[in-house]
Structure 1
Amino acid sequence: MIKPALALAAALLWPAATLAAPTDGSEQQQAVSAEAAGIHAPAPQIVRGVVDSIDERSDTIRLRLSADHTEPFKVQDGLLFNAVRFGDPVAVSVQTVSGVRTIVGLSKE
């Protein structure tokens, strides 16, 4: 009676044991070598301006940075559209995500 129960337990646990088996360490080694190489996500840049336009369809907010210069920024979190209106002075944290300057944080001034 014990042998069939042991065989059943082994059959049920065998797939879990193979999934939990240690890897050859290459994944961990890659993470360590990237860390040692000094590769870090770029720090966000703080940009101050006034909201010039909001385009939820294209996920962009256009900021007036000076009297004659406006710049569009992608929005990472769509909830930011509820936080700002035309004319609001803001400070935004901007990072380049997939080659596009993207707002990752926003605070009203």
Structure 2
Amino acid sequence: MLVWSAAFLPVLAMPASADQSLDGSDAVAVPTLYAAITRLPATEQLRGTVDSVDQGNDTIEIRLSPDRKELFKVQDGLIFDMVRFGDPVEISVQIISGARTIVRLTEK
């Protein structure tokens, strides 16, 4: 610990160089970098009809077209109280932990 202190404390105590601004004008780079690192996941909007509800597996199957059904995970279990077989719905889907997951559902 003493070796680490001796090696790094002088660096931490050094004053800002003359070319660094202290008025905060370079503070824009930090939020920009932070925003680039913490992007929100892409959200996809879909419409369809509830084809099946499996509360035990936290999934809902949505019929997106007459020949296409897709199984989605559900982020919030309260969604199960909102829908039944045959309900027309609009859903917002994000990929969470590798699975297409319903993050918002509204009845249409």
In 1, the alpha carbon distance for the partners of 2:59 and 2:38 equals 29
Matched residue SS, 1:57: helix
Letter in 1 for 2:93: V
1:16-53 CA-to-partner distances (Å, cap 9, x unmatched) read xxxxxxxx9xxxxxx75342x46511231101000000
Q: Which residue of 1 aligns with 2:23?
A: none
Structure 1: gaps of 5 or more residues: 1-23, 25-30
In 2, the alpha carbon distance for the partners of 1:38 and 1:91 equals 30
- Counting only pairs closer than 5 Å after superposition, residues 11-22 of structure 1 correspond to structure 2 as none
Moved over 4 A (4+): none
The count of aligned residue pairs is: 79
**Are residue 102 (structure 1) and residue 95 (structure 2) matched?**
no
Matched residue SS, 2:81: helix
Q: Which residue of 2 aligns with 1:48?
A: 47
Q: Which residue of 1 aligns with 2:65?
A: 66
TM-score with structure 2 length normalisation?
0.67
Matched residue SS, 2:60: strand
In 2, the alpha carbon distance for the partners of 1:72 and 1:63 equals 6
Letter in 2 for 1:69: R
Q: Which residue of 2 aligns with 1:57?
A: 56
Identity %: 53
TM-score with structure 1 length normalisation?
0.66
Matched residue SS, 1:82: helix
The CA RMSD over aligned residues, in Å, is 1.9
Letter in 2 for 1:71: E
